[in-house]
Chain A
């Protein structure tokens, strides 16, 4: 371990069933620096941080800390606190039913019976110093999300830590609050604290950070000095350029050329839902492949969830094949011939312990009705057909879907929706976390389906994938639709500059 390193993580590996979340990742943090950790969703940032803070136990690699001889073992959040690592997580990890001060001091264990008066005075002093306008005696749950996040930060700051980890703390803060946070960070930096800063806001990275580590697909992409890393290169590093891996496939498939090629399949005006996205307009024609693009948290998933009725739709009008329809729950959308492959495969997609066969027929069965189940023989026939069609690698149709690899699970979900014979298919990150071969399979399938007249909306974090498949891209930033690109505008540079916003020249 080098002298001037505060934290050194070497060859960190972490596996979850069927997923290599971290593969041989190195990471270093120097004292008095703000180090950005960047990457798209599923890149492994949060996993890496949870390994460092003892939430996860690593499956390989070593962690070294300044002032500790040899590798340290951090097995619980308590251990991490003890060696001077303070963390503010992306989701609020405080208890809403306790007071602000309690949330700042609990679990830091000193005396059995706390000195309450002292605690409240101390807490108020810290809050005041940091300019956080809440009272220490207030119940945390009664504060706004932003204030809760600030309290979490206050707790971490007060812990007299050597390493401060901020895992996307700014997503719920407004500009002045972010400024306050940055002020705090600069103070800590001057005290020699090393700060790991995870964010997906590029502006913030360029404002406060000294170095950047980029991760993708559980692997380290590289470590860069901020001055030597222009915005566009950073976006490219995050999204990955794997152009060499695949040739252009768009040309292999003809665009749909039926007589009804111009027919509007789906049209929404001013659609909005209770999820965080501004009202938007969207339309898709028969045989068209459109995409929603933008960085994580830009609202791309929320848009398609609103289309499918997965979130609570609160306004806007929708036309399906020219007719006015009301889509307020998934079944409405399914009846209109819309299919939706969700972003969160494990949480929203698979029915884990049911068989591949049952997973494939589920949606079609629901559409067909309660009293008309497919016979067992039929389901085997259907399952075998789709297993062959999509080349799903499974021991048998009766294998529980949970025991398949990620890519094959995704194909099963795809089969489920194809079997409902939709005319509009929405795929939200169908290729995330799956091997390259399956990715190409899915892309080819999308183009093939479109050439047969199906309309497809495709979302991916990987730009070239979008460019290879989509003929029109809706670009989103900060939950707004900020542009629509077609034709010759569909190239990496143009898309990245639209995503990155005006500043990126």
Chain B
């Protein structure tokens, strides 16, 4: 690695040095693979949906559409990872909890309501509160009781789906299709682009505004890199760690809204199944250290879409959804092995050995 310290504004060069290069390279690999395997993967068509709207369809649209929840989760997961050096594995289960809570409010006790029992916004806000409480619980375990994040979140990971089922007494509330609830996971009449894409974009805008107009990013990174020094600079590491979990809670609630809206009901066992793995993978693929510290939000979000791209590609090759985790686990292991300090040190030593004769040649020519 010889990073030249010249002020080069060449965009390509700057990009090569940015951590965006990791998800971009992965994306490129997937694109090339699909181009060779079946170029029709990239076709975008205009279809009529069930209500007669003209909407865009195709694998790319489905990636953007289905990747929304993951990208939103990646926002919160990036912050939690940066501040605590650990990950929240309960996000899938808390999506079930928040989704179940929203449905409970919308149905108001009746599992097959003809009209909504409460405005959607009330249900959504209730879901947000519930998800934030879950996040706050995880945050207290991690920040106050100093339990390792993954173990602390294992509690809700296990109990979450049961709690979700318990909220609605294990019944399956079904929201009437004409209630307008379906638009959050479907289409707004007259708009050809799926609504989740807009919701995700709104979330990105919010987080970028937050990062720009508050010191959140600086605080979170400081705590994640050097907690002791952060404290001596007047920060409260406990509170900041806790806060990241609460923010993740909000992300979970938004993701839950999209998830339950997609099917206008809920399946407690399978809703957002294994999404925690994808969210962690998105953070890692975005080039962020899973041990915490510096983060790049844009890179994580891009990472999320790359994961979705991978998922869609695997689906296209008829991999069953239950088998997906096996493939992704392999990707995770490859990523963490390559980014392990020990492996890096070994690799760079080997790299030096390979390069040193060449360098000697270059110097000889000079």
Contact = CB atoms under 8 A, between A and B. Distances in A.
B219 A351 contact: no
Interface stretch (B97-105, B136-144, B227-235, B258-266): B227-235
B317 interface: no
A354 interface: yes
Nearest to A395: B5
Nearest to A349: B229
Interface in B232-262: 232-236
Contact of A371 (B214, B221, B228, B233): B214
A358 B220 CA distance: 12
Contacts of B129: none
A184 to B, nearest CB: 37
B219 A370 contact: yes
A481 B5 CA distance: 50
B150 interface: no
A350 B214 contact: no
Contacts of A352: 225-226
Interface string B286-313: 0000000110000000000000000000
Nearest to A367: B234
Contact of B213 (A329, A330, A373, A396): A373
Interface in A325-366: 329-331, 334, 340, 342, 347-354, 358, 361-363, 365-366
Given A349-B229, A354-B221, A362-B222, A334 B234 contact: yes
Contacts of B5: 395-396
B225 A354 contact: yes
B228 A366 contact: no
B213 A363 contact: no
Contacts of B235: 331, 366
A362 B223 CA distance: 11
Contacts of B215: 365-366, 369-370, 373
A104 interface: no
B218 interface: yes
A350 B221 CA distance: 12
Contacts of A362: 218, 222, 233
A395 B3 CA distance: 12
Nearest to A333: B234
B38 to A, nearest CB: 42
Contact of A366 (B226, B234, B293): B234
Nearest to A332: B234
Given A353-B294, A363-B233, A395-B5, A347 B218 contact: no
Contacts of B222: 351, 354, 362
Output the residue of A351, A353, A363 with the most chain B CB within 10 A.
A351
A348 B229 contact: yes
B216 to A, nearest CB: 7
A340 B212 CA distance: 28
B226 A330 contact: no
A361 B215 CA distance: 11
A54 to B, nearest CB: 19
A365 B216 CA distance: 11
Contact of B232 (A348, A367, A370, A395): A348
Interface residues of A, number: 30
Contacts of A340: 232
A446 interface: no
Given A348-B228, A353-B293, A373-B214, A363 B234 contact: yes
B216 A370 contact: yes
Contacts of A373: 212-215, 218
A412 interface: no
B225 A330 contact: no
Nearest to A400: B294
B341 to A, nearest CB: 13
Contacts of A310: 232
A159 B75 CA distance: 56
B287 to A, nearest CB: 13
A372 B7 CA distance: 30
A366 B158 CA distance: 38
Interface in A406-458: 416
A202 to B, nearest CB: 32
A330 B231 contact: yes
B218 A358 contact: yes
Contact of B294 (A349, A350, A354): A354
Nearest to B7: A396
A443 B139 CA distance: 45
Contacts of A353: 225, 293-294
A159 B5 CA distance: 54
Contact of A331 (B212, B225, B234, B293): B234
Nearest to B213: A373
Contacts of A331: 234-236
Contacts of B212: 373
A351 B213 CA distance: 21
A371 B235 CA distance: 14
A347 B221 contact: no
Interface in A310-329: 310, 329
A430 to B, nearest CB: 15
Contacts of B221: 351, 354, 358
Contacts of A358: 218, 221
A349 B226 CA distance: 9
Contact of A351 (B225, B234, B236): B225
A365 to B, nearest CB: 5
A288 to B, nearest CB: 24
Given A370-B214, A371-B214, A351 B232 contact: no
Interface in A364-400: 365-367, 369-371, 373, 395-396
A330 B234 contact: yes
Contacts of A370: 214-216, 219
Output the residue of B226, B228, B232 with the most chain A CB within 10 A.
B232
Contacts of A369: 215
Contacts of A366: 215, 219, 233-235
Contacts of B213: 371, 373
Given A352-B225, A353-B294, A342 B218 contact: no
Contacts of A363: 233-234
A351 B214 contact: no
Interface string B3-37: 00101000000000000000000000000000000
Nearest to B230: A351
Nearest to B226: A351
A362 to B, nearest CB: 5
A484 B235 CA distance: 35
Interface in B102-152: none
B233 A330 contact: yes
A-B interface, 8 closest residue pairs, ranked by CB to CB distance from nearest: A331-B234, A366-B234, A373-B215, A395-B5, A363-B233, A334-B234, A351-B225, A351-B222
Given A362-B218, A371-B213, 17 more contacts: A331-B236, A334-B233, A340-B232, A348-B229, A350-B226, A351-B221, A351-B225, A351-B226, A351-B230, A354-B221, A354-B222, A362-B222, A362-B233, A366-B219, A366-B233, A370-B214, A370-B215
11 contacts: A331-B234, A347-B226, A348-B228, A348-B229, A350-B229, A361-B218, A362-B222, A363-B234, A365-B215, A366-B234, A366-B235
